[in-house]
Structure 1
Amino acid sequence: RLALDDALKQVQANTRDLEKAFEGWSEARIKAYKAIETKPNTYYYRFNAPGEEQKKGQWTKEEEELFFSRLKEMKETGADGQWGIFSMAIPGRTGRIKDPNYVLDDKGKAHY
């Protein structure tokens, strides 16, 4: 399976040859990538912006602050539930951040 960061680099390196650009990609990844402009929530739920390095593991304090700031913003605009759009404000993270396995402790800190 082709890692996300490698897949995005592959597309950027093969802009003229789409067959080569999407080599090793799942159908779901190709479909989501081709729909970035029309269905951004679908794309960003699973994938980072092209050229943006994927972050893994523990969240930094800054990321946690961005998460809660974005949560408040999304609730105020009535767009909560669109976790792909939500994640666009948190570099390196995808919409899967709102996974049902994430819980908040008594201090409001997110844990997996």
Structure 2
Amino acid sequence: MRGRSLVIAEPAAVTAPMCEYEIQREERIKRNNDILEQLGVHTAAQAMAARHGKRAPQRHKRKVAAKVAIRKCPRLSRDTQAALEKEKLKAQDSEHDDLMTLQEYLKWKGEDFKGFLVDGHYRGWVCPAICEKYGIVESEEEAFVAVGSAKAGSKGARAGNMHGWSNARAFSATQLRTNPNAYFYRHVAPDQEQAQGDWTAEEHELFLETAKAHGVGDKWGLFASHIPARVGYQCSAYYRDTIIPKGLILDPRFRMTRAGKALFVG
């Protein structure tokens, strides 16, 4: 008809029938919702959403730091390891090849040897003044006869009653009359106070005088009894670090490095 527009109706959407799986799925969803409704879960969730805003609070997820890939060095081949070991041994051998006698060392430095020769052995005993003052026997032989009494003196050391000292220091403190070498290696005379730091000129001269009179190189406790305020291990260190490098005493058991360090080679 003139003046009228023709309207064509769209066909109604056709709903495809659900399969058996979808029917069961819908039933499970409905059943679960009913259970949640009975438990009041939906109501609680809505209340929390209203309290915190429109969005329900979400649990914060723990942030896990991303793993950084660490590049590992490839394993050295056997040939490379063998080469490194060979170079290491070569370096050690060259270090020993560079060792010099004291005369060679002094000549290399352009200096003359003006000291004296020793065989590395001390043949004296405790300083006579200390022997008399503290009742120490006058010879090493007499001290060995009285060594049995040392057992009684060692009990205090084993019991730990020596004011926190190490076992060696505590034991040596009991040996003044029975084993003075052990005593003076770590202790000065009872009426003295141990000196620390640099040696004085008087101590230096006394060291050389004692070495000339009795020898030097072992039994450092007995040697130290002649030098007030110094103990055996201090004398040993001074011998190695100062006396020998300065060319004051020639001890064949030592060799010198180019850096001026005395090394014991036996």
Q: Same fold (TM over 0.5)?
A: yes
Contact 1:74 1:80 in 2 (8 A): no
Amino acid at match of 2:219: Q
Corresponding position of 1:53: 193
Q: How far 1:85 sits from its partner (Å)?
A: 0.6
Aligned length: 89
- The structure with the larger Rg is 2
Give 1:1-112 correspondences, 5 Å limit. 22-75=162-215, 81-96=218-233, 97-99=235-237, 101-104=240-243, 105-106=246-247, 108=248
Spell out, residue by residue over 1:45-103, the C-alpha distance to the aligned partner (whole angstroms, 9 max, x if none): 1211113111111111111110000001112xxx7521101111111001111127423
Given residue 27 of structure 1, which amino acid in structure 2 is its aligned partner? N
Structure 2-normalised TM-score?
A: 0.30
Structure 1 unaligned blocks of 5 or more: 1-17
- How far apart, CA to CA, are the structure 1 residues paired with 2:220 and 2:165? 23
User: TM-score, length-normalised on structure 1?
Assistant: 0.66
Cα displacement string for residues 6-52 of structure 1 (whole angstroms, at most 9, x for unaligned residues): xxxxxxxxxxxx78x62322221221111221110011112111131
* Structure 2 segments unaligned to the other structure (5+ residues): 1-155, 250-260, 262-266
Point out 4+ residue stretches in structure 1 off by more than 2 angstroms.
none
Task: Give me the identity figure in percent.
Answer: 35
Give the aligned CA root-mean-square deviation in angstroms.
Answer: 2.7
